[in-house]
């Protein structure tokens, strides 16, 4: 049989062991993070949102613009990928200074006069070319191209979609981080 002092000792030993086990379990659980497959898509969703926001900003009509077209419409209508590249880069990389920079490649898809879907590859690109090894996402926007009354200028890179008829073209932008 156990006397009173030994019983108190066993009780204190049991409480100390329980506290030690709880503290150990707490330390193990708080220092270990479980990486789930769902967490990997958060970065992709953020990148997609940044790209969609940048395209929406460029596709917003300017109030004081004489032609009442958005910048995206003007760049697409006149085939000025260089201007689109500058504006889009400023929208997605406002203050990165080379760190965690977002790179992009933009293509235009359209239906030509014979009814065949064609595209202009490399309408606009960032400073770094896409090699295929990066994890990239795609954002797109439909852009209305108003028909012009004159023939397209060859210095701007004449394309089939810049005709006298109105049409809508698809601008697709591939985004990735380094």
Q: In the chain, what percentage of residues exceed pLDDT 70?
A: 76
* Segment 56-104, tens digit of pLDDT: 999 888 776 666 778 888 888 888 888 999 999 889 888 766 677 888 9
Residue 23 placed within a domain: no
What element of type H or E holds 106?
strand 102-111
Taking phi over 0 as left and psi of -120 to 50 as alpha, with beta for the rest, 126 belongs to beta
79: left (phi over 0), alpha (psi -120 to 50) or beta: left
Residue 127 lies in a domain: yes
- Residue 32 belongs to a domain: no
CA distance 68 to 165: 19
pLDDT band at 110 (very low <50, low <70, confident <90, very high): confident
Instruction: Report the run of H or E that residue 11 belongs to, with start and end.
Output: helix 4-31
Confidence of residue 155 (pLDDT cuts 50, 70, 90): very low
Are 164 and 147 within 8 A, CB to CB?
yes
The answer to the question of residue 150 being in a domain is yes
Q: Is residue 165 part of a domain?
A: yes
- Domain of residue 140, residue span: 39-177
Tell whether 24 is covered by a domain: no
Residue 15 lies in a domain: no
- Does residue 33 form part of some domain? no
Count of the separate structural domains present in the chain: 1
Fill in the DSSP letter of residue 68. Answer: -
Distance CA 144, CA 122 (A): 19
């Amino acid at each position: 049989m156990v006397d009173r002092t030994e019983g108190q000792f066993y009780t204190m030993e049991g409480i100390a062991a329980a506290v030690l086990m709880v503290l150990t379990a707490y330390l193990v659980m708080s220092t270990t993070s479980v990486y789930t497959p769902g967490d990997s898509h958060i970065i992709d969703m953020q990148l997609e949102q940044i790209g969609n926001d940048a395209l929406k900003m460029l596709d917003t009509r300017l109030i004081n613009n004489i032609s009442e077209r958005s910048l995206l419409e003007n760049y697409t209508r006149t085939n000025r990928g260089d201007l689109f590249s500058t504006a889009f880069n400023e929208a997605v990389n406002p203050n990165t200074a080379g760190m965690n920079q977002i790179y992009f490649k933009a293509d235009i898809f359209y239906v030509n006069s014979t009814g065949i879907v064609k595209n202009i590859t490399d309408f606009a690109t960032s400073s770094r070319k896409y090699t295929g090894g990066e994890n990239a996402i795609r954002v797109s926007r439909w852009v209305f191209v108003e028909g012009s009354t004159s023939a397209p200028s060859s210095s701007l890179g004449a394309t089939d979609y810049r005709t006298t008829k109105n049409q809508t073209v698809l601008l697709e932008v591939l985004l990735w981080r380094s």
